[in-house]
Chain A
Amino acid sequence: EPEVTQTPSHQVTQMGQEVILRCVPISNHLYFYWYRQILGQKVEFLVSFYNNEISEKSEIFDDQFSVERPDGSNFTLKIRSTKLEDSAMYFCASRGQGYVSQPQHFGDGTRLSIL
């Protein structure tokens, strides 16, 4: 069964450094998402992306965050200057398009640790 893949599985970064998290969505999907889960807390929506532009973003997704689909397969999340509170599990998800809404499929996540 097709799946969403994320790399790396674990990223350790010094505070203030830039980090790029990578995702390969399911190949025929058109909608892409990033979520995060701080340890012990709910999964929170960050941003959705469709037709090469952001379609929705949350309050968390401030100017330090950006997303990009640099080619036909990858979808990336960049954090420009990381803070301690950015430490979390980051999940990428994708969804297909259809008359009836389709489920979002999630990757295994990238654990981001900011030191």
Chain B
Amino acid sequence: KQEVTQIPAALSVPEGENLVLNCSFTDSAIYNLQWFRQDPGKGLTSLLLIQSSQREQTSGRLNASLDKSSGRSTLYIAASQPGDSATYLCAVNQAGTALIFGKGTTLSVSS
């Protein structure tokens, strides 16, 4: 059964710092991996999707990488801002339907 783990559970950084969020999964037979942002009491905003054949995807200050063989993905946030404060969720798609989520990393960026 696929398990998704995100480390750390919480992270506090000063504004301007570059940071890396980690996601690991136990079964490397995935279809794709998606990173989301969740603000308190809100829905999930899709940030990046990486296909199983890809190594990375970039959107603005965000860069997500995927190493399928080792069961790992990272989300790199450059030059962090207070507005980046949120919970970041990683989810894997194994068979084209259900997403399996990690518990998330709660990021706090102080000004």
Which residues on A are within 8 Å of B, measured CB to CB?
4, 6, 31, 33, 35, 41-45, 48, 55-56, 58, 91, 93, 100-109, 111
Q: Which residues of A contact B46 (CB under 8 A)?
A: 103-106
Residue of B nearest to A9 (CB): B41
Rounded to whole angstroms, the CA-CA distance of A19 and B44 in the bound complex is 23
Q: Which residues of A contact B31 (CB under 8 A)?
A: 101
* Chain B count of residues within 8 A CB distance of the other chain: 25
Rounded to whole angstroms, the CA-CA distance of A100 and B98 in the bound complex is 16
| Cβ-defined contact, B103 with A108, below 8 A | no
A112 CB to nearest chain B CB (Å): 14
What are 18 A-to-B residue pairs whose CB atoms are below 8 Å?
A6-B43, A31-B97, A42-B101, A42-B103, A42-B104, A43-B89, A45-B99, A48-B98, A56-B97, A101-B31, A101-B93, A101-B96, A102-B49, A103-B46, A103-B49, A105-B46, A106-B46, A109-B42
Rounded to whole angstroms, the CA-CA distance of A42 and B103 in the bound complex is 5
Residue of B nearest to A105 (CB): B46
| Cβ-defined contact, B51 with A91, below 8 A | no
Contacts A43-B44, A44-B101 known; 13 new A-B pairs at CB < 8 A:
A4-B43, A33-B97, A42-B102, A48-B97, A55-B97, A58-B98, A91-B43, A101-B51, A101-B96, A102-B49, A105-B46, A106-B36, A107-B43
Does residue B108 face the partner (Cβ distance < 8 Å to A)? Answer: no
